[in-house]
Structure 1
Amino acid sequence: MNILVIGPGAIGSLWAIKLQQDGHQVAVFGRQTESHYQCQFGEHSYTFSNRQINDIKHADLILVTVKAWQVTSAFDSLARQIDPDTIMMLMHNGMGTVESIRTLLPTNPIVLATTTHGAFKPAPTQLFHTGQGETFIGAANEQGHRCQFLCDVLQHAFPEVHWHPQIEHALWRKLAVNCVINPLTAIHQCPNGNLAFPRYQAVISRLIAEVGAVMAAENIPVHLEELTTHIDCVITATSENKSSMHQDVYHRRKTEIDFITGYLLSRAKKHGIAVPENEALYHHIRTLEQQWESLI
């Protein structure tokens, strides 16, 4: 397949390399203005065409791995170049971007994805795979239901990959994890594993209870005990990792809080559900962002 990865950050670069290794024609569209993008992974260096219009026009699949807040702006300028049959796959933290893509690309098949693979770029051209995981994909519109074959394509390149008939369930489960881990590790500037310490348990329990109430109102199957166990397992499995929001706050970059906790708050408001713990974390992160934005 001709595959374009928009946003060759850590996860985008990891998928680009795995897909290229599997024999696909892979290009990227990144911030760098150079016509090629190189990335060192293990003992090998991989090269991709970058920011070429023909790669956009001829793509069979566009994998979108930019941060959630960058999705709409990325496609405002690229949408005119995208073939109406090109499959769009959104793979990023948070929820709430698919609506804008449906508007910009009304005829394209749209697939949503969530992955638990860990990746880290200590330098712009160096990549590490920091944690083995699995990926779920599923349809976001009617045309997307014809794309179940992608499960086999991605599975062959980078297992494990599963087709999820109700991908929103998997996305909400990932959102629950992110609502707990990302803002807490960002505020306290600690690795994920620190959240297992006793001093965090009470606030984590309250956060999970609030998220669970909103999930139930959204008709997403949820059992608080099982969800708590799942989040505890993620904290343990990624104990040495620093969340993306932790890194964004450390480097004074815009975070994805509006598409993680902010999305939860919007759904909670719709259902009239109070979520004070999550709201406090949201305002704390936004205050941090506003402090360094005022210095620019």
Structure 2
Amino acid sequence: MKNSPWLVIGAGAIGLFWACKLEKLGYKVHLVYRSESPGKRITLESFTDEGGTQEVISSKHKVKIFLAKELTESYDKVLLCTKSFDLADAFNQVSNYITPDADVACLCNGLGAQEILQESIQNSQTLWAGTTSEGVLKVDVNHIKHTGLGDTFFGEWTPSDATKVFPIESLTVKNIRQRMLEKLAVNAVINPITAIFNIQNGDLLNEEYKPLIKATLDELADIFTHPKFCFIQESQHLTSDNLRNRVNTIAQLTRLNRSSMHEDLRLRRQTENNYISGFLINNSPITLPIQQLLYDGVEFEEQREEVKKKLLSIT
């Protein structure tokens, strides 16, 4: 299996990072890009080594690059690193080059896109949903900075009777939906608030945002612990205190970072709003006035200033 190449879809920060990581692990990597070509060599700049030592390490990683229409080989290992709204379309563009027994993995924010992708793949293929806390910043088309060490896990999106292992065995977990819900909860606070208020992650810890953060966390806890929530078995541990600890920790660890949704709004790109706040609103058994405000503030620029006032007036 290691002799066959990985097909990595997406040349954003995470796609380039995983192309480098897989190449470092000894795999051949074929990278599909959509618009700008990253070239055959990717520069990975790390500020910490694997042991956490603070130093700058720069390395070059050689990969083959393609547009989707240029593919000719068949692949049994695929990693999709796209935005949630692009996930199924990206797969469909390369599906003719994926073997019937392939492992198809995805790394994207939020929930909802995985279910759509599951419907697109063959029954004989295995969908692995992933979540990562690696900090990566794209500074050029072929240059990324690894700004923070993190963990990455993959698990079967639809568990099968057979015990399957992800092609990189050390990354396999059985409770992937729980881990993804934990990340969704954090994203549902940090992403929309930093985007709407145009602030860095660490600013969420400032006194002026404390009432808003508390109210947002309490509302999320009401969903995740509600007996009629569709993922209650995987989310019931997400109480207000649990969520508060998670959000405070991530905000502190990434205090100088800007969330992906913040950058999407700043650069006037489509956001993953529908797969974060939108997913919660559409799947909640109770009304979510704060998540609705956050959704509207991200989605509708003309409402943003009014939304800010309402959010800051929450006590």
Considering the TM-score relative to the shorter chain, is it more than 0.5? yes
User: Against the structure 1 CA distance between its residues 35 and 245, is the aligned structure 2 distance closer, same or farther, given a 3 Å change threshold?
Assistant: closer
1:80 and 2:96 correspond: yes
Structure 2 CA distance for aligned equivalents of residues 56 and 143 of structure 1: 31
SS of corresponding position for 2:63: strand
What is the aligned counterpart of 2:15 among 2, 12, 16? 12
What is the aligned counterpart of 1:278 among 276, 291, 303? 291
| 1:26 counterpart residue number | 29
Indicate the larger mover: 199-208 or 188-197: 199-208
Give the conservation status (yes or no) of the 8 Å contact 1:28–1:37: no
| 1:288 counterpart residue number | 301
Deviations 1:67-101 (A, max 9, x none): 00111221232223321111111111111012222
- Structure 1 segment 42-191 matched on structure 2, within 5 A: 42=45, 43-51=58-66, 57-107=73-123, 108-142=125-159, 146-152=163-169, 155=170, 161=171, 163-191=172-200
Quote the RMSD (CA, aligned, Å).
2.3
User: Against the structure 1 CA distance between its residues 32 and 279, is the aligned structure 2 distance closer, same or farther, given a 3 Å change threshold?
Assistant: same
Indicate the larger mover: 205-214 or 33-42: 33-42
Segments of 5+ residues of structure 2 without an aligned counterpart are: 46-57, 305-315
Give the conservation status (yes or no) of the 8 Å contact 1:89–1:113: yes
The structure number with the bigger radius of gyration is: 2
Indicate the larger mover: 205-214 or 50-59: 50-59
TM-score (norm 1): 0.87
Structure 2 CA distance for aligned equivalents of residues 33 and 12 of structure 1: 13
**How much does 1:142 deviate?**
4.0
| 1:158 counterpart residue number | none
**How much does 1:56 deviate?**
7.1
Deviations 1:45-67 (A, max 9, x none): 32321226686743221111100
| 1:251 counterpart residue number | 267
Give the conservation status (yes or no) of the 8 Å contact 1:90–1:113: yes
SS of corresponding position for 1:284: helix
Segments of 5+ residues of structure 1 without an aligned counterpart are: 156-160, 292-296
Deviations 1:120-157 (A, max 9, x none): 012222110011111122111245964324342xx4xx
| 2:278 counterpart residue number | 262
Give the conservation status (yes or no) of the 8 Å contact 1:67–1:93: yes
Indicate the larger mover: 43-52 or 256-265: 43-52
User: Against the structure 1 CA distance between its residues 150 and 223, is the aligned structure 2 distance closer, same or farther, given a 3 Å change threshold?
Assistant: farther
Structure 2 CA distance for aligned equivalents of residues 79 and 94 of structure 1: 23
Structure 2 CA distance for aligned equivalents of residues 236 and 194 of structure 1: 9
SS of corresponding position for 2:251: helix
**How much does 1:204 deviate?**
1.1
| 1:193 counterpart residue number | 202
Give the conservation status (yes or no) of the 8 Å contact 1:57–1:83: no
Please state which structure has a larger fraction of its residues in helix.
Answer: 1
What is the aligned counterpart of 1:213 among 211, 222, 228? 222
